[in-house]
């Protein structure tokens, strides 16, 4: 595989991870919007429903935060490092 082909594959992987990140962000906003709709659906929500909704909201935020950290770890340590290797080999051979 030539350096140009490898660079194209790495760039495609970077675009894939960026697309996944924004898809997760969309799901996060939609889930929180649904949670807010459940909380504001009735004017007199029971106290237990508010407590459960707050805990579910915290759990959802934690899950998506961990997912974002995993994404950033993969992006910075794998993709950027690999692209730098490919670009370095392009610069040294060209």
Structure confidence by residue, pLDDT tens digits, 57-89: 889 989 989 988 887 887 777 766 666 666 665
The domain containing residue 86 runs over which residues? Answer: 3-93
Helix axes 47-74, 3-40, angle to 10 degrees: 170
Q: How far is CA 63 from the centre of its chain?
A: 11
Q: Is 22 a residue whose pLDDT tops 80? A: yes
Q: Is 6 a residue whose pLDDT tops 80? A: no
Any idea how long the chain is? 94
pLDDT at site 89: 57
CA-derived radius of gyration, the chain: 21
Number of domains making up the chain: 1
Q: What is the pTM of this model?
A: 0.61
């Amino acid at each position: 595989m030539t350096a140009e082909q490898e660079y194209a594959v790495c760039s495609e992987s970077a675009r894939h991870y960026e697309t996944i990140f924004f898809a997760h962000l969309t799901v996060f906003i939609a889930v929180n919007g649904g949670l807010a709709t459940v909380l504001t659906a009735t004017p007199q929500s029971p106290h237990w429903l508010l407590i459960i909704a707050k805990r579910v909201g915290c759990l959802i935020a934690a899950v998506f935060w961990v997912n974002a950290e995993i994404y950033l770890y993969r992006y910075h340590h794998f993709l950027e490092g690999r692209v730098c290797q490919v670009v370095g080999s392009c610069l040294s051979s060209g």
